[in-house]
Chain A
């Protein structure tokens, strides 16, 4: 046996009359030649003489416990030999993340023993379970482990003066995988023209001490307006962005001289319209690998694969065509042939990796699946056949849907918001929304569920406000409304920070990104929130 503090030291047995001098411990002591004493099997270190066991080491008098020995091996015979390989072959090995160990692996199961044990404890456990169900002991009992913060305050106001001089707007914000870096993309959202104006992607590291809100840590130039942005979910330095020209690019922020890693280029496969949403998709085949997905108003949703020369090639794709949208008996009012199917937003379900919800320019949301098989008619030539993913169409908004978000806590709930100023909370099981909230007379640009509280979501409005809604407090009006901009400058995008859950970043049309610190109301889950959420989700109308 080895000494746990000095792994190279071998423990030796002491004289048999030596027992642990600590009170209540009757174990036989062993000597560690470096630290002098260690007791097994109770595992206690001894401090002093006769005091209580604790886990610190001690040196006792050498004459009593210490016994040093040394030894020398006999003559060791050696011979020298040389070897030369004549032919060689290259081979590569790659480890994959190992699967979770099986529950019953390595445990020799004695069924009759388990049965006897279960019979013994069954009564006690059932009695306790019943007591819990009827108990009122903990009603209204709440424990606060952390200091409660009552206010919402603006921690940082970040901007890039050069971009503001060009009157560029913040079109996307994203937090990185570690939650310490916020990136924002500059571009124009209200410009219908085909422009070749340069724009920027800026990152700030909020954990740096000398954070200068006017000077980003890294500024990356983009050849045209950047419309959307997404950080890689596990590698903290990769950002993907979708451009106005239809390209998708990936930058590596850890290489400031040449951050461009991959780009799609302008091939037959790339989007012909601005890319409004990029998303990193966990690969179904290789568990750790993620692929890039982009959605654009030309109706195509493409999944990209990285090639060696820095290009992105299409791995698979989906196309939404008006004739292939599933019809529902209740939505008779729409004229299908003329409804536009440009995709403006996309959100993947957190529970089922194949299911995603898409928001469309025509105003309705679609439930789609990556496992769909039916091919979509392709108007332009592409190298990869596109499939039609739509499965169910939901009741429409009266205007384009700008943002959809699937709930991280319930598999069927999702939010959608659009230009009619309404937010719909819908369930994937029915076409009519569960709750419709008229929040604003202007457009609503972004809606996001909170990553920690199942009943909270945030909405960015065209009036310059960020509304935080809490279904537990009120289902009619917002719990908190944060005024981001003084004049009515719309807030275009917002993101919660999943690692530091009290932070919320929002970007507006004046070119500033504000990082808000939320009050503790919004960062800690309440005891019965999941039940409330389940209740909301099950109020389906027939």
Chain B
């Protein structure tokens, strides 16, 4: 799904309630991850975020205005 800078989903392939849930939570997490990276080294910036869980893997590609969130099932 594609989320804008305020955490509002713009395009999605999942159902509404899941999308809104994921968008809100992952937007906050991405901002936190970005501030962590910049805190450690102010010249650095976040390029990609991957979260691996028992059931699937969530990938976030951040940008100035949008976020692309992809959820993938592991291959095994």
Contacts and interface: CB of A to CB of B under 8 A. Distances in A.
Contacts of B2: 114, 117-118
Interface residues on A, range: 20 to 34
Nearest to A142: B54
B20 A129 contact: no
Given A24-B42, A107-B8, A109-B10, A125 B63 contact: no
Contacts of B19: 103
Contact of B63 (A102, A109, A120, A139): A120
B59 A133 contact: no
12 contacts: A102-B16, A104-B9, A106-B8, A114-B10, A114-B11, A117-B68, A124-B48, A125-B61, A125-B70, A129-B70, A139-B76, A526-B54
A134 B48 contact: no
Nearest to A141: B52
Given A132-B75, A138-B52, A100 B17 contact: yes
A365 B12 CA distance: 40
Contacts of B76: 139, 527-528
A527 B57 CA distance: 12
Give the 6 A-B CB pairs with smallest separation, nearest first: A121-B61, A107-B8, A100-B17, A117-B66, A133-B75, A100-B16
A337 interface: no
A104 B75 CA distance: 32
Contacts of A191: none
Interface of A: 24, 100-104, 106-107, 109, 113-114, 117-118, 120-121, 124-125, 128-129, 132-135, 138-139, 143, 525-528, 530
Find the residue from A121, A134, A135, A138 having the highest chain B CB count within 10 A. Answer: A121
Given A103-B12, A104-B10, A530-B55, 17 more contacts: A24-B42, A100-B16, A107-B6, A113-B66, A114-B11, A114-B66, A117-B2, A118-B2, A118-B68, A121-B68, A124-B47, A124-B61, A125-B59, A128-B59, A132-B75, A138-B74, A528-B76
Contact of A132 (B8, B12, B57): B57
B48 A128 contact: yes
Contacts of B55: 525, 527, 530
Contacts of B75: 132-135
A133 B47 CA distance: 21
Judged by DSSP, the binding face of B is mixed
A527 B74 contact: yes
A129 B6 CA distance: 26
Judged by DSSP, the binding face of A is loop
A28 B16 CA distance: 39
Interface string B41-75: 01000011010101101010101011010101011
A107 B1 CA distance: 14
A467 B48 CA distance: 47
A102 B57 CA distance: 25
Contacts of A133: 75
Find the residue from B10, B16, B42, B72 having the highest chain A CB count within 10 A. Answer: B10
Contacts of B30: none
A135 B76 CA distance: 9
Interface in B1-50: 2, 4, 6, 8-12, 16-17, 19-20, 39, 42, 47-48, 50
A257 to B, nearest CB: 41
A132 B17 contact: no
B9 A103 contact: yes
B10 to A, nearest CB: 5
Contacts of A118: 2, 68
A316 B65 CA distance: 53
